């Protein structure tokens, strides 16, 4: 009791009362404490960390937004300055991560909530570079980690080439060992072999982690990593032999200077090879601690799994911002109403508005809780790998790989669709740049592509699941330390069951939803496995059989597997949450999220014979009702999720709910908005450049 009081006091300190205004009505209706709800995914520690970062930004002139979009070069400039400024503050020292592994995700979230380009730049320049050296390098490389930690040099990560991205094995950058000189000669045969898309390489990076084919004594030993000097850290001029440039404008993330680089017989000392996992000795003979070369390749690419984990959390941040904007605006936007009503109705009250927003509000909670946990789990794994104290590290690693390969696409796509719904739900004003939803969409778009194109990544999970299916009768808990295979318990029995729902209530009961998901996941796995087998029995090789069992099979399987895990995790977190009012609302969100997910798979449930008759209609009715049930709490749920106004920077979504006032102030102060254009003569005297034929 006293403890709760102390916590509440802390929360109040970080989150003072929200400004009174048009949102008061909804806030009064809330059935729970919006501050306490934060602790379902945050801790006082992570809250404090984010608060520190945001307070610093709020007081610093570099972190003020401009009305008009900057030109590309200016955008890069300010993002770079912000990067050094924020990095220099060291909000999260390495030691602190070990103390509270959740701090890592929290700091990243604080940056993403402010500006995604900034967050990406920090992560590429400092973190990814250090991690790559830590993971693939030896003692004599560690001075580079010190340099980058001191920001004397800046890193980047160069895997993708112009003509090869997903198919890393097809890459064509070569590093040929010359034993006489103890050097590697790095070379790009043509522009198609240029490294490209490399974030922070366009303008800034001094060093790159480069993946190249290691060639020695005429033999190609496959892809290896090298740390390659690109620009002189004192002048930022590229070294001779390095042709480096910027990719120009992108759909989003324009503060990040994505670049390309070609190497023209560029000589590197032998020490450039990050050869902990394999490389040549001075004589040019190949040596590796791995017996199976595939294992080395896997381990070398292993560094990428952290990226996927990170992206589940990035996607969540984008959706989180969009949903806050759309919910708050829908609560103050009034349009139409019953005949003779004194006031128009907030559009949030309309069924068709609810169905487009509230499932994504529920999804945001599910995703937030899950992504915080995933990041925490990933870091804990890294720590225990480092300590060597996890006996089951390999199985855990593989399962995490499969799970993150499913959830990264799932979250990228959920955010994509959710943000789009938010955009449209805000009507005309949602199309304002100043509403901020368009930029969220543009930035999130990249999440569907980098760190593994979504559709391809799903193949990683399904491959593992198919493998698991074959040995489903001999699985032990050790095969699934994260418990993502729980749906295989008693699977043969399970698949014989049929759905027993009779009422709308049945259809949205969390435990029923979870049971159905279990069935669905198992069914999809069985179907996919049978499909692959059928294709093979028609004489197709593995490559063809795998390709031709993607649509409606393997792809759906991986998505369902991810959804199943996230739904279960959400339910568990809700049931266990200590605050009773919050718990009641969380369980409503679980129902809503579950019914929303399931509705998309109704056809499969019928095809599989699990559902029959009108049961699908019960889910739909249940979903609509679950939306209505959450509506009175929607604004408070958005308040819980909302970052500070200066991060949200949306005229529609501010905490005070004064959308029209913010629109007015924004349009009236937009540079030049009220003045006659300088080129007014080209309107009045258009015949001066187009002699009239009219």
Ligand X SMILES: Cc1cc2nc3c(=O)[nH]c(=O)nc-3n(C[C@H](O)[C@H](O)[C@H](O)COP(=O)(O)OP(=O)(O)OC[C@H]3O[C@@H](n4cnc5c(N)ncnc54)[C@H](O)[C@@H]3O)c2cc1C
528 annotated as belonging to a binding site for a ligand: no
For a copy of itself, the closer of residues 3 and 237 by Cβ is 237
Identity of the residue, 204 or 280, whose beta carbon is nearer to a copy of itself in the bound complex: 204
| Pair type for strands 279-280 and 286-287 | antiparallel
Q: Which of 127, 552, 583, 644 binds a copy of itself (CB under 8 A)?
A: 552
In whole angstroms, give the CA distance from residue 20 to residue 27: 10
Residue 344 among the catalytic residues: no
Q: Does 511 contact a copy of itself by CB under 8 A?
A: no
Nearer to a copy of itself, 183 or 425 (CB): 425
HSE-up of residue 633 (Cα within 13 Å, Cβ side)? 24
Taking the complex as a whole, the smallest distance from the CB of residue 658 to a copy of itself amounts, in Å, to 11
> Applying CB under 6 A, which residues contact ligand X?
157-160, 165-166, 197-199, 250, 253, 258, 333, 335-336, 347, 350, 352-353, 425, 427-428, 431, 446, 449-450, 452-453, 455-456, 547
For residues 157 and 365, which CB has a smaller minimum distance to ligand X in the complex?
Answer: 157
Q: Which of 107, 161, 451, 563 is catalytic?
A: 451
State the residue number with the nearest CB to ligand X.
165
**Contact in structure between 327 and 635 (CB atoms under 8 Å):** yes
* Residue 199 partner contact from a copy of itself, ligand X, none using kind-dependent CB cut-offs of 5 to 8 Å: ligand X
523's contact among ligand X, a copy of itself, none, with CB below 5 to 8 A by partner kind, is none
Of 209 and 465, CB closest to ligand X:
209
Among 395, 495, 629, 663, binds a copy of itself (CB under 8 A): 663
Q: Return the one option of ligand X, a copy of itself, none that residue 158 interacts with (CB less than 5 to 8 A, by type).
A: ligand X
Could you tell me if 533 and 546 are in contact, meaning their C-beta atoms sit under 8 angstroms apart? no
Instruction: Name which of residues 319 to 348 contact a copy of itself (CB under 8 A).
Output: 334-339, 344
Check binding of 204 to a copy of itself (CB under 8 A): yes
Q: Say whether residue 438 binds a copy of itself (CB under 8 A).
A: yes
Among 10, 45, 163, 380, contact with a copy of itself (rule: CB under 8 A):
163
Q: Which residue has the tokens 């589940």?
A: 312
Can residue 551 be called a binding residue for a copy of itself (CB under 8 A)?
A: yes
* Residue 435 near residue 426 (C-beta atoms within 8 A): yes
Q: Which stretch binds a copy of itself (CB under 8 A): 11-19, 196-204, 472-480, 510-518?
A: 196-204
Three-class DSSP category at 580: helix
- Binders of a copy of itself: how many residues, by CB under 8 A? 131
The DSSP symbol for 551 reads: I
* Residues whose CB falls within 8 Å of the CB of residue 470, separated by 6 or more in sequence, listed in order: 529
Tokens of 559: 């998505």
Interface residue with a copy of itself among 81, 138, 143, 391 (CB under 8 A) is 81
DSSP label of 62: G
Take residue 308 and report the two structure tokens written for it.
């996927």
Q: Which residues contact 281 (CB under 8 A, 6 or more apart)?
A: 287
DSSP 622-668: HHHHHHHHHHHHHHHHHHHHPPPHHHH--TTT-TT--HHHHHHHHHH
* Contact call for residue 667 and a copy of itself (CB under 8 A): yes
End-to-end CA distance of the chain: 83
Q: What's the rounded Cα separation, in Å, for the pair 669 and 676?
A: 14
Please select the residue that binds a copy of itself; options are 10, 384, 455, 486, rule is CB under 8 A.
455
119 vs 488, which CB is nearer to ligand X? Answer: 119
Binding of residue 693 to a copy of itself (CB under 8 A) = yes
Closer Cβ to a copy of itself, 161 or 509, answer by number: 161
Q: Taking CB under 8 A as the rule, does residue 670 contact a copy of itself?
A: yes
- Report phi then psi at 167, rounded to 5: -85, 80
Q: Which residues contact 92 (CB under 8 A, 6 or more apart)?
A: 49, 103, 104, 107
Q: Which of 416, 363, 308 is CA-nearest to residue 567? A: 363
Cα angle for residues 612, 614, 619 (degrees, 5° grid)? 100
The DSSP bridge pattern shows strands 174-178 and 207-216 to be: parallel
616 assigned to a ligand binding site: no
Q: Which of ligand X, a copy of itself, none sits in contact with 533, Cβ below 5 to 8 A by type? A: none
| Smallest gap from residue 610 Cβ to a copy of itself (A) | 11
In this chain, which stretch among 42-50, 88-96, 115-123, 504-512 interacts with a copy of itself, using CB under 8 A?
88-96
- Contact between 223 and 169 under an 8 Å Cβ cutoff? The reply is yes
Q: Which residue ranges are tagged as binding site for FAD? A: 160, 199
Catalytic residue positions? 451
């Amino acid at each position: 009791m006293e403890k709760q009081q102390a916590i509440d006091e802390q929360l109040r300190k970080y989150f003072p009362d929200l400004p009174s205004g048009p949102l008061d009505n909804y806030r009064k209706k809330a059935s729970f404490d919006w501050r306490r709800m934060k602790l379902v995914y945050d801790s006082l520690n992570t809250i404090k960390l984010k608060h520190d970062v945001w307070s610093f930004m709020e007081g610093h002139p570099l972190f003020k937004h401009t009305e008009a979009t900057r030109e590309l070069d200016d955008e890069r400039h300010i993002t770079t300055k912000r990067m050094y400024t924020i990095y220099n503050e060291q909000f999260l020292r390495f030691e602190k991560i070990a103390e509270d592994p959740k701090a890592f995700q929290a700091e990243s979230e604080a940056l993403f909530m402010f500006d995604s380009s900034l967050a990406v730049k920090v992560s590429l320049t400092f973190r990814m570079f250090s991690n790559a050296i830590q993971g693939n390098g030896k003692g004599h490389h560690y001075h580079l980690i010190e340099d980058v930690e001191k920001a004397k040099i800046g890193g980047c990560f160069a895997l993708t080439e112009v003509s090869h991205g997903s198919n890393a094995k097809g890459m064509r950058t070569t590093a040929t060992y010359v034993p006489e000189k103890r050097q590697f000669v790095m070379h790009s045969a043509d522009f198609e072999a240029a490294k490209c898309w490399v974030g922070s390489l366009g303008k800034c990076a001094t060093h790159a982690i480069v993946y190249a084919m290691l060639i020695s004594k005429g033999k190609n030993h496959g892809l290896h990593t090298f740390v390659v000097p690109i620009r002189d850290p004192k002048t930022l001029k590229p070294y001779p032999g390095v042709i480096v440039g910027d990719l120009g404008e992108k759909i989003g993330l324009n503060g990040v200077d994505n670049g390309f680089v070609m190497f023209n017989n560029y000589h590197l000392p032998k020490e450039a090879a990050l050869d902990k996992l394999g490389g040549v000795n001075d004589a040019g003979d190949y040596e590796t601690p791995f017996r199976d070369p595939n294992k080395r390749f896997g381990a070398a690419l292993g560094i990428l799994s952290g990226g996927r984990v990170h992206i589940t959390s990035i996607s969540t941040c984008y959706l989180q911002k969009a949903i806050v904007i759309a919910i708050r605006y829908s609560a103050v936007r009034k349009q139409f109403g019953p005949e003779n009503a004194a006031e128009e109705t907030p559009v949030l009250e309309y069924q068709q508005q609810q169905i487009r927003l509230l499932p994504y509000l529920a999804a945001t909670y599910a995703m937030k809780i899950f992504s915080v946990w995933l990041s925490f789990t990933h870091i804990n794994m890294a720590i225990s790998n480092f300590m060597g104290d996890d006996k089951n590290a390999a199985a855990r690693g593989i399962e995490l790989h499969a799970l993150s390969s499913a959830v990264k696409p799932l979250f990228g796509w959920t955010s994509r669709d959710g943000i789009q719904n938010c955009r449209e739900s805000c009507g005309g004003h949602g199309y304002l740049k100043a509403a901020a939803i368009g930029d969220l969409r543009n930035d999130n778009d990249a999440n569907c592509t980098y760190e593994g194109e979504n559709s391809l990544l799903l193949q990683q999970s399904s491959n593992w699941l198919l493998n698991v299916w074959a040995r489903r009768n001999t699985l032990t808990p050790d095969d699934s330390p994260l418990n993502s295979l729980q749906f295989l318990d008693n699977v043969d029995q399970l698949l014989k069951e049929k759905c027993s729902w009779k009422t709308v209530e049945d259809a949205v009961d969390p435990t029923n939803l979870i049971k159905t998901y279990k069935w669905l996941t198992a069914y999809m796995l069985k179907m996919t496995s049978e499909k692959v087998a059928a294709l093979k029995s028609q004489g197709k090789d593995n490559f063809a059989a795998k390709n031709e069992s993607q649509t409606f099979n393997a792809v759906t399987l991986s998505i369902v597997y991810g959804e199943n895990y996230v739904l279960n995790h959400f339910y568990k977190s809700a049931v266990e949450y200590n605050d009773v009012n919050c718990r009641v609302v969380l369980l409503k969100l679980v129902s809503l999220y579950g019914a929303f997910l399931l509705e998309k798979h109704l056809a499969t449930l019928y095809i599989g014979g699990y559902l029959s008759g009108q049961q699908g209609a019960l889910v739909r009715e249940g979903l609509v009702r679950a939306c209505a049930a959450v509506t009175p709490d929607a604004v408070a749920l958005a308040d819980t999720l909302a970052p500070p106004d200066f991060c949200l920077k949306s005229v529609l979504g501010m905490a005070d709910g004064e959308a029209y006032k913010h629109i007015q102030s924004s349009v009236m102060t937009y540079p030049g908005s009220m003045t006659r254009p300088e080129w007014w003569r080209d309107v009045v005297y258009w015949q001066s450049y187009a002699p009239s034929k009219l």
